[in-house]
Amino acid sequence: MTDPARIACDVCVVGSGMAGMSAALFAANRGLATVLVGRTGEIIFATGLLDLLGVHPLEDGKTWSDPWAGMAALVKDLPRHPYARLAAGDTRAALDEVLRFFEANGLAYAGHPERNVVVPTVVGTLKTTYRVPRTIWQAVAAWERRAPCRIVDIQGLKGFSARQIADTLTPVWPGLQAARVVFPGTHAGSEVYAERLARSLELAQNREKFAEALMPHVKGVDVVGLPAVLGISKSLAVMQDIERRLGVAVFEIPTMPPGATGIRLKETFESGLAACGVRLLLENKVFRAVADSSGGFLIEAGRSEPEQRIAAASVILATGRFMGGGLQADRRGVRETLFDLPVHQPEGRYGWHRQDFLDPQGHPINRAGLEIDDRFRPLAA
């Protein structure tokens, strides 16, 4: 092993999901020298929808039109929830900061300041959310007025069935129709992937051919719903070009993950943070992190072995839960994987899960996590 190169910074963010990327943005915007270390994780599975609070309490299935009122109810019922440690004004400011960053970097969002919206999902359900990418916004308007709409899927794109979506939603959205097209350059028996389709539609000649395939299916409808394949870095421009060619409004429905929506978030964050001066150590793992005698931290990171030594005045732990690798479970219990911080969890494995897999209360193991103070610093056992 070669001697790791040394990097000094004010803040080292460990984790490259939504939380880690957002934390790096906030730090950089405040003039702090920031390093972000992490491997691709859960962000590529994201739908692109930004939730505040849509349902509470879970066991009652109560949906909230006003997410801020819902958050106030949650805080009252669960005073130890992380939302209880944040002022509503701080939450609004943080969300606005992230949305401005997205807009400046080509990923525009839409929504209402004081209320949630409803959008269709890939399985034909309706989801309550707070902010949606502009490429999804027409779905909100179409649902609210039950507009004549046709959902169109693509031959060979697994997990996205226009017929399933239409059949499931027709009782509440009369006249919703379905159709299927073959994507230009593919054939009926081939398997296609959302990311490849999205990148191909960033070329004007491919959009022209795709619009030609869609054109027979726009008659008699005001809006067309498509799988989320309308570009990666230029998704809004791609959608607007398709709309112009078809002469009707268009919206996307996020596909089964991993899909284009998560990749858009990942690439927008990465390019935008680099432009903000964040030092990105992507696809790197933290092998060791310890507190040093000065009150800061020493972190060793690299791809397959330590290649960088980071001296940071502070660390933001954004490693996620089980899927992201921040928590690890074995027969003895759940542990935090980097600093071995104490984890709040059920007393034994017997208490991890309820009897029914789809119990409306959820499972106790899903509330395992770190105990924190009001500044989100981890507490000792």
Residue 296 neighbours by CB under 8 Å, 6+ apart: 311, 312, 313, 314
According to DSSP, the β-strands at 109-111 and 131-133 are: antiparallel
Digit-coded pLDDT (tens) for 32-43: 999 999 988 788
Kindly state the helix (H) or strand (E) to which residue 13 belongs, with its residue range.
strand 5-14
pTM of the model: 0.91
Decide if 131 contacts 50 (C-beta within 8 A).
Answer: yes
The overall average pLDDT reported for the chain is: 93
Mean pLDDT of all residues in 323-340: 86
Residue 233 banded pLDDT, cuts 50, 70, 90: very high
For residues 33 and 209, what is the distance between their CA atoms, to the nearest angstrom? 47
Residue 4 has pLDDT above 70, yes or no: no
For residues 378 and 140, what is the distance between their CA atoms, to the nearest angstrom? 39
Decide if 73 contacts 83 (C-beta within 8 A).
Answer: no
The domain limits of the chain are 5-103+264-328, 119-256, 329-381
Digit-coded pLDDT (tens) for 196-209: 999 999 999 999 99
Question: What is the third-level CATH fold of 119-256?
Answer: Rossmann fold (3.40.50)
Residue 297 banded pLDDT, cuts 50, 70, 90: very high
Residue 3 banded pLDDT, cuts 50, 70, 90: low
Tokens for 159? 């997990």
The CATH code for residues 5-103+264-328 is: 3.50.50.60
